[in-house]
Homo-oligomer: A and B are copies of this chain.
Amino acid sequence: MRDLDETDMKILSLLAEDARRPFSSIGEEVDLSGPAVSDRVKRLEESDIINGFTIDVNRAQLRAGVPVFIQAEIGSESLEPACKQARESDGVEHVFTTSEGDLWFYARVEAHNVRQWMNGLFDEINIADYTVTLIDAMEWTPSVDGAEFALTCAECNNTVDTEGETTRIDGEVYHFCCPSCLARFEDRYQRLEEGV
Q: Closest CB of chain B to A4's CB: distance in Å?
A: 8
Interface stretch, picked from A26-34, A103-111, A113-121, A178-186, is: A103-111
Cβ-defined partner of A98 (8 Å) among B47, B64, B69:
B69
Cβ-defined partner of A19 (8 Å) among B54, B148, B150:
B54
Do the beta carbons of A61 and B87 come within 8 Å of each other?
no
Q: Who on chain B is nearest to A105 by CB?
A: B139
Q: Who on chain B is nearest to A15 by CB?
A: B55
Do the beta carbons of B61 and A135 come within 8 Å of each other?
no
Q: Closest CB of chain B to A44's CB: distance in Å?
A: 9
Do the beta carbons of A49 and B69 come within 8 Å of each other?
no
User: Is A159 in contact with chain B by the CB < 8 A criterion?
Assistant: yes
Q: Who on chain B is nearest to A56 by CB?
A: B51
**Given that A94-B94, A141-B93 are known contacts, is A50 also in contact with B61, CB under 8 Å in the complex?**
no
Do the beta carbons of A52 and B56 come within 8 Å of each other?
yes
Q: Oligomeric state, in number of copies? A: 2
**Given that A16-B57, A58-B50 are known contacts, is A63 also in contact with B96, CB under 8 Å in the complex?**
no
Cβ-defined partner of A151 (8 Å) among B62, B139, B144, B149:
B62
In the bound complex, how far is the Cα of B138 from the Cα of A145, in angstroms?
18
Do the beta carbons of A108 and B12 come within 8 Å of each other?
no
A136-148 vs B: 1/0 string, CB under 8 Å? Answer: 1111111011001
Could you tell me which residues of chain A, from 141 to 196, have a CB within 8 Å of some CB in chain B? 141-142, 144-145, 148-152, 157, 159, 173, 175
User: Is A5 in contact with chain B by the CB < 8 A criterion?
Assistant: no
User: Is A95 in contact with chain B by the CB < 8 A criterion?
Assistant: yes
Q: Which residues of B contact A97 (CB under 8 A)?
A: 135-138
